[in-house]
Structure 1
Amino acid sequence: MKTLSRRGLFGVACLACGGGHMGLTATPVQAQQRWSPPEAAQRCPSRWGPNDRRGSMNLQTPERAQAAARLIRTGQMVELGHVLAPTMPFFGTRRFDLHTKRTFMNPEPNRRGSNEEIVITEIGQVGTQLDAFPHQTIGDQVYNCVDLPSISGRSGFTEMGVHTIGTVMTRGVLIDVAGAKGVPVLGDDYEITVADLEQALSRQNMQIAEGDAVIIHTGWGTLWGRDNARYVRSCPGIGVAAAEWIIQRNPILMGSDNWPVECAPSKTMPDASLPVHQLALVAHGVHLLENMKLDEMARRPEREFAFVMQPLKVQGGSGSTVAPTAML
């Protein structure tokens, strides 16, 4: 595999872009490529240096938060996270169960009752969720070629846990690929190309800037809680070439209304398991925001907004359920 530069972009470019109008079925793939993740010498040290553990979160600065605040014009807020409930789509043994602890009546004469609940769940990888770097590896290495065994503990990861990410407040950009294609939902295995992204951004008269939260609307979120079996079976999303194109513009994170952000399974690289996960989280240190609720934002005219999100402070966690907000 040929690399563009040591700290540049890696992977094999998509040769089967499947352009044109996209309905609920995908255009046949014309060519397929074998994809291998970049070797350690190609991806390390990161652009932030050999000791960096924050990746793209280095772009979260006070100046960027101030610039995002200036995008708030009406004070309206659009929630971009799904409600956590047992009716969510799940993979494998993941679950979410809430058990109410019914009213405990305190003994004082004012009759103060208290209600609580017990939640049994995999808190980092259910619902609308942000992936931390230890969530994915290339072999036994995570971001910046840190050996996973060296940071793995019985009670979480000792480095790069989700509790280290902190509050994100930056410019959010919604790239409405489904809207640009004139459909409510992209096809079940449609792989978004660079041309698709450029078409949607041109239609919106927008560009991606460094430090943006880049959010991609596929329409797949409309299946959430309605057809969970189809939701998890496959999904439209960005391919490796499209991911490289976005990462080249230095986003703070990439998100989408599907479960992996990327197309799954990959159309152009079918022998690779979620290659964009390795490319983003491991090779470049860019967090992924999955299972977003984008239906309301897709109906609105705004495509630029102040994006606000904070992961739960789960010590050493591989990720966190989150409730991001678009402030308009």
Structure 2
Amino acid sequence: MKSTLSRLALAALLVTGSASASDARDVGISPWGPDDEIGRLNLITPESRAAILSRIAGGKSYDLSVDYFIGMPSWQAAGDPHYRIWMTHTPHGTVIDDPLHLGEEMNEHVSYTGAAVSMYTHMGTHIDALSHFGLNGKIWNGFEASEHLGDRGWSVAGAEKIPPLIARGVLLDVAAAKGMEMLPDGYRISRQDLVETLEKQQLSLQEGDIVLIRTGRMKHYNDAEAYMNNPPGLGMAAARFLVEESGAMVVGADNLSFEAFPSEVENNYVPLHTYLLAEQGAPIMELVYLEELSQDRLYEFAFIGGSLKLRGADAAPIRPVALPLRDH
């Protein structure tokens, strides 16, 4: 464990630099070797999985994902597509079209429904692959777009490389810690906010945690305009606290797009995304449903989630669950 921490500290040192000299920052080089495509997800080991699974208490399970529907909140500023679903087969249409040449009698007896969907990879509850954002033409571990990005996506660090996530999950309910149902529009979560939340929850972070931040924004999920209008998010010092100081493996939140805007860093409009994904190799989850965990004050749990293996993609939908733990 100490050797892993030393490797991570060295990797952080290699990319840290000055906060004001954002143009001098570069991608992180993996302490897990030149072929590494999953970054901090290497912290998932047979031993770490066994440790958290052995503590599951049973009983209630918590679904941490959101519904997909036409009109759902999504990132549109860069022109990405909305979510769409359309029927490819309906019982009445099948009787008329008879696509399988089964005859009217059979089609009236056996009803047939089918559908297709179209969506941006960063919609709904999803996890960013390490290829999502980079610096200076490269992504995590120095992989260059000029060598590894083709018309069918990335040949390295794509969403299909993300393993099943089985780890200790921690909820940092920042909104509740401040006595609010929802953080104000545009609120930038600070390092001190996270420290105070941990103190109020009587909890500490551990290396390899999946840390989820609740802003309360999910209360607006059914109103896309309200949900997307200047949401609260994390600041740079908070992100550094989670990863470099506390050892988080994956970070996530109930908002879109995790960080607060406008950027704190000159010459980088998404400094948290580049810091986490490109520099630290830490995947990001967004639009995580945390309301039930907050209601039940479940701050520590087993996190189990599998994302779709979209080959070469920069993100994928994920359906995570949280399971309560027995005391040590």
TM, length-normalised to structure 1: 0.85
Report the counterpart of residue 169 of structure 1 in structure 2: 166
Preserved contact between residue 166 and residue 302 of structure 2 (Cα < 8 Å): yes
| Alpha-carbon distance in structure 2 between the residues aligned to 1:86 and 1:269 | 35
More strand by share: 1
2:261 to 259, 264, 281: 264
1:179 to 167, 176, 180: 176
Residues 277 and 67 (structure 1), Cα distance of their counterparts in 2 relative to 1, 3 Å cut: same
| Alpha-carbon distance in structure 2 between the residues aligned to 1:322 and 1:235 | 22
AA aligned to 1:136 is: F
Report the counterpart of residue 83 of structure 2 in structure 1: 96
Measured after TM superposition, the shift of residue 74 of structure 1 is 3.0
| Alpha-carbon distance in structure 2 between the residues aligned to 1:294 and 1:304 | 12
| Alpha-carbon distance in structure 1 between the residues aligned to 2:139 and 2:181 | 36
How many percent identity over aligned positions? 29
> Counterparts in 2 of 1:52-131, with a 5 A limit?
52-92=36-76, 93-100=80-87, 101-103=89-91, 104=94, 106=102, 111-122=109-120, 124-131=121-128
Measured after TM superposition, the shift of residue 138 of structure 1 is 0.8
Q: Highest Rg: 1 or 2?
A: 2
User: SS at 1:170's partner residue?
Assistant: strand
Residues 204 and 160 (structure 1), Cα distance of their counterparts in 2 relative to 1, 3 Å cut: same
Residues 38 and 281 (structure 1), Cα distance of their counterparts in 2 relative to 1, 3 Å cut: farther
| Alpha-carbon distance in structure 2 between the residues aligned to 1:126 and 1:158 | 22
2:290 to 290, 294, 297: 294
| Alpha-carbon distance in structure 2 between the residues aligned to 1:197 and 1:126 | 26
Measured after TM superposition, the shift of residue 59 of structure 1 is 0.9
Measured after TM superposition, the shift of residue 94 of structure 1 is 2.2
2:230 matches 1:234: yes
2:12 to 7, 26, 32: 7
Which runs of no fewer than 5 residues in structure 1 stay unpaired? Answer: 14-33
Q: CA offsets per residue over residues 48-104 of structure 1, 9 Å max, x none? A: 233321101101112212222133213311111110111211222321111122134
AA aligned to 1:165 is: I
Residues 126 and 315 (structure 1), Cα distance of their counterparts in 2 relative to 1, 3 Å cut: same
Residues 193 and 35 (structure 1), Cα distance of their counterparts in 2 relative to 1, 3 Å cut: farther
Measured after TM superposition, the shift of residue 37 of structure 1 is 5.7
Measured after TM superposition, the shift of residue 264 of structure 1 is 2.2
TM, length-normalised to structure 2: 0.85
AA aligned to 1:317 is: A
Count of residue correspondences:
300
CA RMSD of aligned residues (A): 2.1
Which runs of no fewer than 5 residues in structure 2 stay unpaired? Answer: 1-8, 96-101
Residues 234 and 10 (structure 1), Cα distance of their counterparts in 2 relative to 1, 3 Å cut: farther
Measured after TM superposition, the shift of residue 44 of structure 1 is 4.1
More helix by share: 2
| Alpha-carbon distance in structure 2 between the residues aligned to 1:301 and 1:223 | 21
2:206 matches 1:200: no
Residues 230 and 273 (structure 1), Cα distance of their counterparts in 2 relative to 1, 3 Å cut: farther
